[in-house]
Amino acid sequence: MAVTIKIRIDGLNETIRAFKELPPDANNELRDRTKSIAEKLAVKVKAAASADSGQSALIAPTVKAKRDRVPVIEAGGAKRVGRNRKPAYKVLFGSEFGSDQLKQYRPWVGQDSYWFFTTVESQQAEISQQWNQAADDILQRWAH
C-alpha cells in the first residue's frame, strides 16, 4: 500500500482534455517532463524523511517518482525495512501521522503530518507553476 496525495494544479482538467486532442508523442513528452518535476519533489520528500525520525528515515528509500501526466510520487510498498523487517507500508503511516495507541510511534497529529504531506504541500505552488509551464510549452509546440 502506498500513499497518494492530491494537490491543486490550476487548469489541470482543461489541460489534460486539450492533450487528448494531441498525438501520443505529446502526451509522452508531458509524462517525461512531469516525471522530472516529480523526481525533484521526491528528492525533497526523501530529505525530509531522512531528517525527521528514525522510522521516517527507513521509509526514505521507498519514495519514488512515477511517470504520469501529473506529478506523482509514492512511498511505502512491500519492501521490508528496519531490524524487524516489517513491510514499509506498515511503518509509513505511523511515521507520518503518529499514533495514540501504538507506543513505538510519536503522538498522533490527526489531520497534520510529520514529513510527507507537509513537504509536498509546502511545494504546491512551485509544482503547479512548473507543471503549467511544461504543459504550455508542449501545447504550443504541438498545436501547430
Mean pLDDT for the chain overall: 91
46: pLDDT strictly greater than 90: yes
Q: What is the pLDDT of residues 13-32, one digit of tens each?
A: 999 999 999 999 999 999 99
Nearest CA-CA partner of 26 in 34, 53, 50, 80: 34
End-to-end alpha-carbon separation of the chain, Å?
42
Where do the DSSP E strands lie in 51-133? 64-66, 72-74, 80-81, 86-87
10: pLDDT strictly greater than 90: no
For residues 41 and 75, is the Cβ–Cβ distance under 8 A? no
